[in-house]
Chains A and B, each alone.
Chain A
Amino acid sequence: MIEISIEKELLGSLGKMDLCVDLQIEKQSFVALSGQSGSGKTTLLRILAGLEKAKGRISVDQEVWLDQNVYRVPQKRGIGFVFQDYALFPNMSVLENLLFVKKDKVLAEQLLEMTELGELAHRKPATLSGGQKQRVSLCRAMMNRPKLLLMDEPLSALDPSMRTKLQHEILSLHKAFETTTIMVSHDPSEMYKLSSRVVVLSQGKIVQDGDAKSVLLRTQGSQKFSFEGELLDIVKVDVIYVAIVAIGQQIVEVVLDEGEAQNLRAGDTVNIGTKAFAPILHKK
């Protein structure tokens, strides 16, 4: 069990704010941490890792990492950390990167095998692709069999197909090592696939906390489906109005009447949903 109760003053996107988090995390669980940029996600991870100081208390399996009198340095916390930009040791080969953490060749080879990196063991990080680098970083984080694995948007710099592949690898590593994991992510499908619990931060406070389905599903009441999107433009065509909305990587048109159009401005965040028709799912 990991118990977190911390406070820290931050300079967020809207000026000063207080990061104030109370969380209990079950052993071996996989928690996704979400929220807008500047909401304090990365800072929370860094406080857990001991890279930043904060007021409050952190205890992991009865060990106190932080309280009024204790501050355990990052070296002594037994943490695995996966950075968004990999942070591999540039002067070492893939295998050396892993062995630097712990001289355990058997574990290193097992990890490289699991992530299909066996062939690349003697390559330098500079010669690897983004996806390969992040797999090395993931293996490296697992080398000291961490009590807690922290991942800060590990897949956000990768293309969609590589992302899916790595999601599977993260999941299989999580199953094999049963490491308690906290991952910062913005991708709902990723959070749904990987995590058992989703925590949403806003302005330094937890605003939602629950299983992936209850937090991520956006439909309300009898809605068949609902998407969140950004309103790009409203165009008047004869007597009707057409709203152009960006949903993820796609752009769609929705017909509005005059009353609806008057309340909306380009740049608004909107929900698109429907109640009457059953959506049709086609395989592409």
Chain B
Amino acid sequence: MDFEFTQVWHPLVLSLKTLGFVGVLLVVLGIPLAYLLSKEELKYKWFIETLVTLPLIFPPIAIGFLLLLLLGKYGWVGSYLNQIGIRFIFDFKGLVLAGFVAALPLMVKPLQSAIELFPKAIKEAAYMSGKSPLYTLCFIVLPSIRKSLVAALLIALARALGEVGITLMLGGNIVGKTDTISLAIYNAVFDGDYPLALSLCSILIVVSLAVFAALHFLERRDQVL
């Protein structure tokens, strides 16, 4: 093999680091968003729902371009953020944002329906025990649907790991800086370096198998409990 170890190692670490941040964002923002959308009487529900689901339907490369317009140095939002020193374009933050936007619908939609399907009477029983809706969500609803929660999170993270279109637009595919593992495969194939592409692919296969194993393990453990 005639490629350097860092050519594999660097994209892998970058991808894992991105996934770590995306995972935290999915938990911190995705769960409250799913809860919010599960409320029937929410105002502008259709609008928020469309916004969250958009990356699932709209081509990633187009989403990336729109985000680039929005967050670029002279973009509508980007110009303000740039003034206070926050930059998304060609930066690690851009990779996290790209992964997060792509993964969000896969996290929010299944979780939203799991929360919606959770029996109303059980929530009401908790309210009548003196517990607030937030307390009920944290200690009754989410623990009861933990299997759906973890499955949604794993699938969303798998989507973020494979993200190319938005990442390409926001991150710029700068080798050694913003080339995540999926982009590194593209670059290696583009350069005709098939052995490198194959090595990177094998890593993705191992990671995917680990996700499957984790899902399977969770299911088994749930049956034992």
Contact = CB atoms under 8 A, between A and B. Distances in A.
Mutual binders A and B: yes
Interface of A: 49-51, 73-81, 83, 85, 87-91, 100-102, 124, 140, 143-144
Q: Classify the secondary structure of B's interface with A.
A: helix
Given A83-B121, A124-B225, A89 B140 contact: yes
Given A87-B119, A88-B122, A75 B127 contact: yes
A74 B128 contact: yes
B144 interface: yes
B193 interface: no
Contacts, number: 59
B121 A85 contact: yes
A140 B129 CA distance: 9
Contacts of B119: 85, 87
Interface in B116-168: 119, 121-122, 124-132, 139-140, 143-144, 146
A89 B128 contact: no
A88 B124 CA distance: 11
Given A49-B124, A79-B128, 17 more contacts: A51-B128, A74-B124, A74-B127, A77-B128, A85-B121, A87-B121, A87-B122, A87-B124, A88-B122, A88-B125, A89-B122, A89-B126, A90-B122, A90-B144, A100-B126, A100-B139, A101-B130
Contacts of A80: 128
B122 A51 contact: no
Contact of A49 (B126, B128, B139, B225): B128
Interface in B179-193: none
Contacts of B129: 100-102, 140, 143-144
Interface of B: 119, 121-122, 124-132, 139-140, 143-144, 146, 225
27 contacts: A49-B128, A51-B124, A51-B127, A74-B124, A74-B127, A75-B128, A76-B130, A78-B130, A79-B128, A81-B124, A81-B125, A81-B128, A83-B121, A85-B119, A85-B121, A87-B122, A87-B125, A89-B122, A89-B125, A90-B144, A91-B146, A100-B126, A100-B131, A100-B139, A102-B129, A124-B225, A144-B129
Nearest to B143: A91
A143 B121 CA distance: 18
* Top 8 closest pairs, chain A to chain B, by CB: A87-B121, A101-B129, A91-B143, A87-B125, A91-B144, A74-B127, A87-B122, A83-B121
A38 to B, nearest CB: 19
Contacts of B121: 83, 85, 87
A85 B121 CA distance: 8
Given A81-B125, A87-B124, A89-B125, A75 B144 contact: no
A211 to B, nearest CB: 29
A89 B127 CA distance: 12
Contacts of A77: 128
B189 to A, nearest CB: 47
B130 A144 contact: yes
Contacts of A75: 127-128, 130-132
A81 B122 CA distance: 11
Nearest to A75: B130
A108 to B, nearest CB: 13
